[in-house]
Amino acid sequence: MGAHLARRYITETDTEPDPARKYEFDPQLGFDERKEREMVANQEQMNLAQLPLEQRDYCAHHLLKLMKCKRDNWPNFLACKHERHDWDYCEHQDYVMRMKEYERERRLQLRKKRIEAQAEAA
């Protein structure tokens, strides 16, 4: 917790990824084949549900199921635990993917630096 900040501002200021900037490495680098993320809910459905922009991510289909369940079961607010868990789990997996992307970028930066250092030493 916070080691990345120490790396970014103090120790490895040139290799630690900057969240404000776009990641520069090719997404396929290092993978044999990469599966694309598939979006289940289509735009029309999201528009009809009037989802705010922040919630129109790759877990929106779980959210739409949850909203329907809540609306059907009102006033029983304890009814949609399963749907809520599905949505939460999907969001959790999305967050873990974000962490992995950050780490991938960081390691690629370090690798790039090592290669450059080797090239200079040579």
Partner 1 sequence: MRTSHSVRQRPSVNMAGVGFRRWAQALCRGNGSGISALVSGCRAASGVSKGSLPGPYPTTPEEKAAAAKKYNMTVEDYEPYPNKGEGYGDYPNLPERSQHERDPWYQWDHPDLRRNWGEPIHWDFDMYIRNRVDTSPSPVSWSSMCKQLFGFIGFMLFMFYLGEKFPSYQPVAAKQYPYNDLYLEKGGDPEKEPEEVKHYEI
> By CB under 8 A, is residue 39 in contact with partner 1?
yes
Task: Report the C-alpha gap between 108 and 21 in whole angstroms.
Answer: 15
> By CB under 8 A, is residue 111 in contact with partner 1?
no
Task: Say if residues 58 and 37 touch (Cβ distance below 8 Å).
Answer: yes
Task: Report the C-alpha gap between 16 and 31 in whole angstroms.
Answer: 22
Task: Say if residues 77 and 59 touch (Cβ distance below 8 Å).
Answer: no
> By CB under 8 A, is residue 14 in contact with partner 1?
no
- In angstroms, give the least distance from the CB of 101 to partner 1: 4
- In angstroms, give the least distance from the CB of 68 to partner 1: 20
The answer for residues whose C-beta is within 8 angstroms of residue 59's C-beta and 6 or more apart is 87, 90, 91, 94
Size of the site for partner 1 (CB under 8 A): 30
- For residue 60, the surrounding DSSP H or E stretch is helix 60-73
> By CB under 8 A, is residue 86 in contact with partner 1?
no
> By CB under 8 A, is residue 23 in contact with partner 1?
yes
> By CB under 8 A, is residue 88 in contact with partner 1?
no
> By CB under 8 A, is residue 56 in contact with partner 1?
yes
Binding site for partner 1 (CB under 8 A): 2, 4-5, 9, 17, 19, 23, 27, 34-37, 39, 43, 46, 53, 56-58, 94-95, 97-105
